[in-house]
Amino acid sequence: MTDLEPRSQPPANPHLLVIRSVLVRSAAVCALLWVALFNGYPIIFSDTASYLLTGLTFIAHWPFRSPGYSIFTKLTSLGISAWLVIGVQAIIVVYVLDKTCEYLMGNERRNREICLLASVSVLGALTSLPWLVSQLMPDVFAGIVFLSSFLLAFNDQLPARSRISLAAILMISTGVHTSLLPIAALFVALLIIIKLVVRLRRAATLRGAVLASLVVPLIAGGLSTATLNYRMHLGFKFSPSGQIFMLSRLFADGLAADFLRDNCPKQPLIACDYLSQLPRTQLEFLFENHPLLEEMVEHNDEMDEIVHGTLSTHKLRFLTSSIKETFLQLAALRTGDEVRSYHAKEWNRDAVAQVFPRDFPAFLNSKETRGQLLPWANAAAAIDTVTFWLSVVICLAFSCIKAMGRLNQFFYAAMAFLLINAAVCATFSGVFDRYQSRVAWLAALCATAFVCSWVKDRHYAKSLGQGL
């Protein structure tokens, strides 16, 4: 390893530096895959089969999910193995973490690599990140949306190739899950406003390259999703499922039920036939074969009417409920929700056998399939929850040190992103652990960066003192 003052040392062998760089990043990739390695196979969720089969056959399965992740699994697996998919996910995560450490710690190779290794060690051992990386689901891309968009907005020194690669990653990330485009759009809008305010104060202009690298990926992600849906005969729509998830959330709040009770005497609606047995939770409406769901799927116009009528009639109640649900979602971050709520074993079994026949024996022998992974998921949930709140406290303590301006900026942006993620998910779908656990690891990343910067500054100050 080079010293803190590399210019005082003889030039290092460039081949050794390349080898070291490859080894460090390879170790980071492997560390983030430990859950899949321990399980014996990538983690499977109830939605996994739909993504895999859509990627194989290009036929959508209801409820319609974003086709972007289906294409991602098809391309990255090469039709061979699911291990290749999560391997690419790990590489993407390590890449954006490396770029993040470069921005937060400076270009000095030693500090950057120490920050990367420290971050991966903490995130791999104490947060939800390795569970996200190791599963065949698009949830890992939520945190990638934050890191890529933050770097594109604030790192003005990004080389052109790095800016293009991060923009491409942002485009992919916004296209793999329906919730990530609105989350990314709100966050990017916030970043642009902040940049404009800062530029106005400094009498400078917002660079066109920065603005384009933030906006173009969002437009491309939305258009690619709509185009794929069109090619699957679902219409040129970003979300072919329409208002189904919003309606399920309104049933869970009781708002839709109140609207129907008030309006059924005035207008004939199909849902009025089910007033005595209306669903009371999202899960009951969407996944428990409720008879009303079958009716609603074939009558999208009535679904839209109920949603719009409920929102216009109960504006204040909906706003109050959304705020309450947002704060509940912020605290709902238990890792392993995919393992706890896994209810599609036969569906996934058939899908893996069809899409990855060579993987099938490993899938059958995995701890998750044999029911042995749940205790580990519950233990990780407890550890990760403590880590999240402790990380927030550490970051708040460090943020009082004004000298750490760049790190403070990163922490505040991360907290804003967590709030936006919670608000969008809670408002349009409801409170689920997996929605917040997919981004909760960002708090630990902030805390690790603060500590690494503090250690670096102390080391530098000590070396200067010894030099004097």
Q: Considering Cα of 2, then 105, then 405, then 202, what sign does the dihedral take?
A: positive
Long-range pairs of 301-305 with CB within 8 A, sequence gap ≥ 24: 302/269, 302/270, 302/271, 303/242, 303/243, 303/244, 303/247, 304/242, 304/243, 305/269
pLDDT for the residue numbered 3: 39
CA dihedral 269, 273, 279, 283 (to 10 degrees): -80
- Min mean pLDDT across 59-63, 88-92, 139-143 is at 59-63
pLDDT for the residue numbered 5: 41
pLDDT for the residue numbered 430: 84
pLDDT of 11 above 60: no
* pLDDT tens digits, 164-213: 999 999 999 999 999 999 999 999 999 999 888 876 666 555 678 888 99
* pLDDT tens digits, 281-340: 888 888 777 888 877 877 788 888 999 999 999 999 999 999 999 999 999 989 988 898
**CA distance from start to end of the chain:** 24
pTM for this prediction: 0.92
Q: If you average pLDDT over every residue of the chain, what do you get?
A: 89
Report the Cα 80 to chain-centroid distance in Å: 25
pLDDT for the residue numbered 238: 86
Q: Region 440-450: what's the mean pLDDT?
A: 96
Residue ranges per structural domain of the chain? 13-177+179-238+317-467, 244-313
State the Cα–Cα distance between residues 204 and 217, nearest whole angstrom.
24
Contact (CB, 8 A) for 203 and 189: no
State the Cα–Cα distance between residues 27 and 124, nearest whole angstrom.
12
* pLDDT tens digits, 358-388: 999 999 999 999 999 999 999 999 999 999 9
Q: Region 412-436: what's the mean pLDDT?
A: 93
Q: Region 123-133: what's the mean pLDDT?
A: 97
